[in-house]
Each structure stands twice: as C-alpha cells, then as structure tokens.
Structure 1
C-alpha cells in the first residue's frame, strides 16, 4: 500500500501528515477520506484546477497527465513542472510526497 506524505500547509494540514492509500485510488479522494479538506470545485472531473498539488517525490511512477488535466493545469496558480491535479492522480506502487500550493484558483471557499 503506497504512502503519501503531505508537507505542512497552514490551512490544510499545519503539522504535515502521512497517509496510507490504496493502489488505484484517486489522490483527491484519499486526501478527503483522511480529513484533508482539499478543494475540488468540479467534483473531481478535471474541469477546474482547485485540487492542484505539487508531486515533490514519486512523480515518475505516475501515469502521464491526459489532455484534460494539462488543459486545466494551465489555469492553476503557481504552475510548476511537478504540478498535477489531485483528482487525476491515481496511486501506483510508489510512495509520494505532496506539497500544496500557497493559493488556489477558487476565490470563495465554502465550509
């Protein structure tokens, strides 16, 4: 079972966190299941960029982004070569280290 280490983020997980994720599970769903309130305005269909994350370690083990993910990433704040949409990342064998961007594309957040 792959492990995902989350780097500290002041709003989403101030202390950082490590979670176990089932192979094939969506990163976004896993984060929500483990109490990390990542935004996902499009309900995880790759139609927005609110679940943007940086895959700091383990990225080469993931499948390449599809066109719809690439198109939405163009709208993400702070885009980097390690940027991915959490709703599109499906865990494989390798462990991941994830960093959350400082800001999100979503200006209004509902709690």
Structure 2
C-alpha cells in the first residue's frame, strides 16, 4: 500500500516493461518524454483520478494502464511540487529519470 509520501505516475504497461528492461523510466506524460518536458509528471493519490481523466479519458488502446508507486526517498534527482499555472494545484514533478528500484509497487488502473 502506498505510503503518504509516495507519488504516483500513470503509464502504459508496455512503457513500464521497457523501463524495467533499461533500468530507468523516462516518460514524462502521455506521448512526451522526460527529455521533451524536462521532468516526469506525477500525482498524489487524490490527484490521480483527475490526471487520468485528463490524459487518458477517452483512450482506447491495446495496452493496459498501470500506476507506478514511486518512493521519493529512493530517487537521486529532485522532486518539486509545482503548479501548471499561477494559483493552480501543485503536482509533484521528478526532475530526472526514475530508477526502476524507486518504483515500490505497480498497480493496475481501472
């Protein structure tokens, strides 16, 4: 079960499988890489449903979605809570690749 300090990232199972093969996860958000965005978009548990609806709401695809449960204490890069625009809710952003051993659990997304 995710702890209160864990952050979450929703992704496609094939992208997670690819990360496990390479040792690090490097996607930022749906269709965008860490290199393109500069960080990996994450969410808190409370933020995840809205983020999922925004990113994958009407998605039809052959690939399952999974939630990566990330322990920030296992990262060697900064995690910063930032708002996408002034006055908006702050989301956790990981400023570098996520090592697969920082992912403490992988959960199916409904």
- State TM-score, norm by structure 1: 0.30
